[in-house]
Structure 1
């Protein structure tokens, strides 16, 4: 009995709550507060202080990019990196004494600066002599010549001032050949001969242009009568 009474009470309470929440009891003054007008207006506090703010301007598109600085003028590669004039050491020759003198005059007459060229003496390569001397006088020289003639050794006079008066028992292009000849003479009884170098005087010259550019090369080439200029 108690359970039935409790169930009926809960059912009646739920029905009353539903009727109240849905406003079915409003005619008898039982209903929840409504958020609709005019009740909302009665709840406002100082509505006269409300101001409508102006609408914000519409966002514009992205700001235009700053103008790029003007491009530097393009310089042609030929002007930007002009090649330096080619300068090289050149030479020509040999020229004998007469030819060297004629070339010296031609270079001067042709207006080639004296500082741009030089004629360098060219001495023949040294020779090696099987030598006897120096003797004090001609008499001593002739006495030694006679002794060598008896040994059947050929001799020739020395023309180099530093070795005259003296005798040459042979001239060779290498020191080894001269030493070999000296050993042969020693086996034949020649005792006081020795091998010396003969330094010969220059008999020719070489033209040298230490720093010739294309203009100088062309100018000088025309004065060489067909002789070529070659690198130093």
Structure 2
């Protein structure tokens, strides 16, 4: 009799535990704990879109959320064409040229840019003087003179390749003012340079810069192909 009572108590406790855990809810049609409603979580649609408000909070419905554009969607052709046809005018200039060279440039531009305005500006071009050694009869002599100059500390020099009259010589400095070149020469003589002299590479002069203030479509390509004097091609304008 005692064994039967113990068995009944165990069965009753197991049944109560199963009922309390909710295992018997589908059979009984009731809920052991009404506060637990897991089925509602399964029935929710887009639960991630719910917004939980704190006390006194509010939702601003005046403006819709900003949506990032899809990079795979292309803009209408009209928008693309308007963006690529913006004003791309560029100022280009060439020179400086002598008066005779400028006349040649004028003839070339009248044919290359019949509808694009251009103008000329006069600029002062400083002279150029060299402290110069040479010219020497051959490359071996030039190399030997370079070895001699390297023995003098902190003395800079370079080989002159143009103009042809000064080729096979060495430049010990370039100066825009003749007096500065003469002063540099005297200083070098005190350091052991005996055969150098000052030569004028370019005299001061007023020359002409040709400027195209606003190029039109195709102008840069046409200007790049012009055979300008002394190979002075068109470049971006410098502020003046």
**TM-score, reference length from structure 2:** 0.38
Kindly name which structure, 1 or 2, has the bigger radius of gyration based on alpha carbons. Answer: 1
**TM-score, reference length from structure 1:** 0.39
